[in-house]
């Protein structure tokens, strides 16, 4: 039989796929025959198993060699065992029945006097162990963890990690051994022990108390690693054992998470590592990056206070943005996006560096830089940021345009310094990317102009000028057609005008307006939607323009569309042709100008609740589960946002970085239902925000809030259950009632008892990152003396977990704003 080397050469020498298949099939047949031959020598058996492993790498069937691999394990020779274990790991998995035959061989080899045989068995056990095999051999592994041989201890520790992933119930067995290994001086053993303890704490956070006593040892070893000079044995790129440093820092993050006392003890060493580690090479950046993640992953101070350590972390991430390594820049942007809520001021200092990344050649970096730019927009820098984003919009990738348009419109609406700037921004947006503008943004533009009578002529002139220059942007075509139809009379009365920055005068007459609409309708860029708005504009102009012949021009244009293939356009054209023959008085009544919309009360609350509802809906999707686990306890000065955690109440900056289909979640009554483009008038109620306009469906949002309020008020009508007093002062008392609805789901009701008359009552709650909070509106936010109010919350998290609430309560008493914060930990395993 040919050797392995000859077999590989013959496979590679095959000129066609058919020839290759022939060579493989012949060799497979020979291997099968050799396995059946009892006279096969040990050398030939090893040769055949080696060929079988090569076939495995080619994707061929190798199941017929599994038993032969098991036979090699029973051999007393090391070469046979090594190849047998390799074949066992590759050709078998935990679901194979043959695996039952392997258990005894592994058990025997775990007692072998040769350390390399023991480690072969440990490696195989870690890779293919089933639950039953783990239960049979875990005690042997635990014994080997206490061996005097560091090589065996390292392998046994990593094997224990895999066993615990299969059978988490055995974590108590390995705790003492893990503590002992953390005190070991061997770097390999310490590295594997750090991996084991980190994995144990991640799977069961309650084990932090068990390993708290090891924290001084870990800090001591980290300090020693960071201060040790050059050592050829462990030096990598000028950094002393960066692998061990990263694992120990990662272990600190697991221990210090949600534990302020332990976090305080590790702050100093993190500051030392962040300050002294050389960042000129990628190895140092790896240590610094792990250090930054730990800085933001532990409790480095009260959420509302300044933290120099966090500022240092942000500065390190900003340095990463200036490196040439694209992976480093992407990681920095990704991390800044997660921590911007914790240190917004520190991140704002590096705004220009982040904006420079928007022009990076790498598309992934550009995408992340844009996502971060949206979050950085505030009332103070909205002019600068929107101006920069408009420049980006002119030359950005097509896949970014839709999201970029939405974010510019949304943030312009939130932070507009004045209405004129808001109008200019939205009109410029339509001019640059009208083809990528969704109907909700178009409706926002129209609503804004309806509500600003002083700017109606200004906006209509601007739209008229844009339409004369080009018909290429559909969004601008739609808005311009609507504005010209609605305000065509004041456009004509206003006479000639000039655009800002252009000295050429633009003449406007009734014939010019009608010819422009006619050209728009005949344009190859005119979609059915544009034509619908165009003929609507014409019929409105019939009641607004007074010059002789205007009615006849409009009638002739409408006649062309009475035979349109589009049923909607045809129907409207026929109806409008009939309407135009009616008396002018009748047309004026039917086609009167739209009045400014009347906004409902408490619009800001509707806006916040609708956005939060959409975000919660998105968080529950499988591809967004990572967002549920993100922790975001941010500083807050005077706003009502508490900690801006992912699972905290109230809207967060995730609203600004949500993907481009966020509006579909908000507006549609059913997921995936498109917004009708033919009914333009009904679309105008989509966007309302603050005291003016918003990118929300007010009707559906108001309905949702009414339902939520009703649910909350029902709580107050029922008999109050036994509650736990949480906090009180001279003005108000707060107590909680908690109940477990089903495993992993809990309901908490907050009861407010006012001792004095108070107003603007608000409660914000934050949870650990492993738990998710859904909070309903407070039943009453203004209470008389001895008045009561309730607030209902639902919590989802790991089964059997403790519920720890970080609570902030705010209210006004005699016009003075009161703000109090506390932690509530009296719920025992509520989930």
**Cα–Cα distance, 527 to 470 (Å, whole number):** 15
User: Reduced to 3 states, what is the DSSP secondary structure of residue 354?
Assistant: helix
Determine the Cα–Cα distance for residues 440 and 610; give it in Å rounded to an integer.
15
The answer to whether the beta carbons of residues 296 and 290 sit under 8 Å apart is: no
Which two tokens mark 635? 């500083």
Between the CA atoms of 92, 94, 100 and 103, what dihedral angle is there, to the nearest 10 degrees? 90
Coil, strand, or helix at residue 685? coil
The encoded tokens of residue 52 equal 């079988």
Nearest to 757 by CA among 713, 821, 812: 812
Pairwise CA distance, residues 788 & 216, whole Å: 49
Query: Which is nearest to 787 in space by CA: 749, 818, 761?
Result: 761
Q: Which two tokens stand for residue 369?
A: 């830089």
pLDDT at 720: 75
Taking the C-alpha atoms of residue 720 and residue 751, their distance in angstroms, rounded to an integer, is 9
Residues 742-779 have pLDDT tens digits of 888 889 999 999 998 899 899 999 888 888 888 888 98
**For residues 633 and 341, what is the distance between their CA atoms, to the nearest angstrom?**
7
Degrees to nearest 5, angle at CA 489 with 488 and 493: 115
Closest by CA position to 789, among listed 797, 781, 798: 781
Length, in residues, of the chain:
831
pLDDT by residue (tens digit) across 681-700? 333 333 333 333 344 333 33
734 neighbors 726 (Cβ within 8 angstroms): yes
Confirm if 674 and 381 have CB atoms less than 8 A apart: no
What would the pLDDT profile of 371-423 be if each residue is shown by its tens digit? 999 999 999 999 999 999 999 998 888 889 999 999 999 999 999 999 999 99
In angstroms, rounded to a whole number, what is the distance separating the alpha carbons of residues 470 and 465? 9
What pLDDT does residue 616 have? 56
- Give the strand pairing for 759-766 and 803-813: antiparallel
Strand partners, 735: 725, 751
What's the rounded Cα separation, in Å, for the pair 378 and 380? 5
Cβ atoms of 321 and 335 closer than 8 Å: no
pLDDT averaged per 10 residues, the chain (length 831): 87 93 92 86 88 92 89 91 93 79 92 95 94 93 95 96 93 93 94 96 92 93 87 88 95 90 89 90 93 87 61 94 93 93 91 93 94 93 94 89 91 92 93 89 90 92 91 92 93 84 78 92 91 93 86 92 92 92 87 73 42 53 38 36 38 37 37 37 34 37 35 44 89 91 88 91 88 88 89 88 88 88 84 77
Read out DSSP for 268-334?
HHHHHHHHHS--SSHHHHHHHHHHHHHHHHS--S-TTS--HHHHHHHHHHHHHTTSS-HHHHHHHHH
| Distance of alpha carbon 607 from alpha carbon 451, whole angstroms | 19
Taking every pair of Cα atoms in the chain, the longest distance, rounded to a whole number of angstroms, is 112
Instruction: Tell which residue, 430, 365, 429, has the closest CA to residue 397.
Output: 365
Task: In whole angstroms, give the CA distance from residue 373 to residue 352.
Answer: 10
Distance CA 242, CA 256 (A): 21
Domains and CATH numbers, the chain: 26-272 (1.25.10.10), 301-376 (no CATH), 452-595 (1.25.10), 597-831 (2.60.40.1230)
> Using alpha carbons only, how large is the chain's radius of gyration in Å?
35
């Amino acid at each position: 039989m040919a050797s392995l080397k000859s077999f590989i050469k013959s496979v590679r020498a095959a000129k066609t796929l058919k020839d290759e298949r022939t060579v493989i099939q012949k060799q497979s047949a020979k291997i099968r025959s050799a396995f059946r031959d009892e006279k096969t020598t040990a050398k030939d058996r090893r040769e055949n198993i080696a060929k079988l492993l090569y076939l495995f790498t080619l994707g061929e069937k190798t199941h017929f060699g599994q038993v032969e691999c098991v036979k090699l394990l029973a051999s007393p020779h090391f070469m046979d065992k090594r190849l047998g274990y390799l074949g066992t790991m590759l050709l078998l998995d935990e679901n194979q029945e043959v695996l039952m035959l392997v258990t005894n061989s592994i058990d025997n080899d775990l007692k072998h006097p040769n350390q390399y045989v023991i480690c072969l068995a440990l490696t195989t056990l870690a890779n293919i162990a089933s639950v039953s095999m783990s239960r049979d051999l875990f005690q042997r592994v635990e014994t080997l963890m206490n061996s005097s041989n560091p090589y065996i201890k390292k392998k046994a520790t990593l094997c224990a990690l895999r066993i615990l992933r299969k059978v988490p119930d055995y974590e108590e067995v390995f705790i003492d051994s893990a503590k002992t290994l953390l005190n070991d001086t061997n770097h390999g053993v310490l590295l594997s022990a750090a991996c084991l303890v980190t994995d144990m704490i991640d799977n069961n956070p309650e084990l932090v108390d068990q390993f708290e006593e090891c924290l001084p040892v870990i800090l001591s070893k980290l300090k020693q690693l960071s201060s040790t000079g050059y050592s050829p044995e462990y030096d990598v790129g000028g950094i002393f054992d960066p692998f061990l440093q990263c694992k120990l820092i990662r272990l600190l993050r697991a221990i210090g998470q949600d534990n302020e006392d332990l976090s305080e003890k590790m702050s100093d060493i993190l500051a030392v590592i962040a300050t002294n580690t050389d960042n000129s090479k990628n190895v140092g950046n790896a240590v610094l990056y792990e250090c930054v993640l730990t800085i933001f992953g532990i409790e480095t101070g009260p959420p509302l206070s300044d933290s120099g350590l966090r500022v240092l972390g942000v500065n390190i991430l900003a340095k990463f943005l200036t490196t040439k390594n694209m992976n480093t820049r992407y990681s920095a942007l990704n991390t800044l996006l997660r921590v911007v809520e914790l240190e917004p001021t520190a991140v704002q200092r590096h705004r220009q560096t982040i904006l420079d990344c928007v022009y990076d050649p790498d598309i992934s970096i550009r995408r992340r830089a844009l996502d971060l730019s949206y979050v950085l927009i505030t009332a103070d820098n909205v002019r600068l940021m929107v101006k920069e984003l408009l420049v980006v919009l002119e030359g950005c990738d097509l896949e970014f345009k839709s999201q970029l348009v939405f974010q510019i419109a949304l943030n312009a609406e939130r932070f507009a310094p004045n209405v004129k700037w808001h109008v200019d921004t939205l009109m410029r947006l339509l001019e640059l990317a009208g083809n990528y503008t969704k109907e909700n943004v178009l409706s926002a533009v129209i609503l804004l102009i309806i509500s600003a009578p002083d700017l109606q002529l200004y906006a209509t002139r601007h739209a008229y000028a844009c339409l004369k220059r080009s018909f290429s942007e559909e969004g601008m075509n739609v808005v311009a057609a609507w504005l010209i139809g609605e305000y065509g009379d004041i456009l004509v009365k206003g006479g000639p005008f000039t655009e800002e920055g252009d000295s050429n005068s633009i003449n406007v007459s009734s014939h010019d307006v009608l010819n422009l609409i006619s050209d728009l309708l005949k344009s190859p860029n005119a979609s059915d939607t544009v034509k619908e708005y165009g003929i609507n504009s014409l019929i409105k102009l019939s009641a607004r323009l007074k010059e002789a012949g205007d009615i006849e021009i409009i009638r002739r244009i409408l006649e062309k569309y009475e035979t349109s293939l589009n049923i909607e356009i045809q129907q409207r054209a026929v109806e409008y042709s009939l309407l135009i023959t009616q008396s002018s008085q009748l047309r004026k009544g039917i086609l009167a100008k739209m009045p400014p919309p009347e906004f409902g009360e408490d619009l800001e609350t509707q806006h916040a609740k609708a956005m939060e509802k959409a975000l919660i809906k998105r968080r529950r999707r499988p591809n967004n589960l990572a967002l549920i686990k993100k922790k975001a306890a941010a500083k807050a000065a005077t706003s009502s946002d508490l900690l801006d955690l992912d699972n905290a109440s109230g809207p967060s900056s995730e609203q600004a970085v949500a993907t481009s289909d966020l509006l579909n979640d908000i507006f549609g009554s059913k997921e995936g239902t498109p917004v009708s483009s033919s009914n333009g008038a009904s679309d105008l109620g989509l966007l309302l925000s603050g005291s003016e306009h918003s990118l929300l469906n007010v009707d559906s949002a108001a309905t949702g809030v009414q339902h939520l309020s009703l649910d909350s008020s029902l709580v107050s009508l029922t008999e109050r259950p036994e509650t736990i007093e949480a906090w009180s002062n001279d003005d108000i008392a707060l107590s909680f009632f908690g109940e477990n609805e089903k495993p992993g789901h809990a309901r908490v009701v907050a009861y407010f008892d006012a001792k004095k008359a108070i107003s603007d009552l608000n409660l914000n709650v934050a949870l650990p990152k492993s738990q998710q909070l859904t909070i309903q509106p407070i039943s009453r936010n203004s209470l008389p003396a001895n008045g009561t109010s309730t607030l209902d919350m639902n919590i989802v998290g790991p089964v059997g977990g403790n519920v720890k609430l970080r609570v902030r309560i705010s209210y006004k008493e005699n016009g003075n704003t009161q703000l109090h914060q506390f932690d509530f930990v009296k719920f025992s395993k509520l989930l």
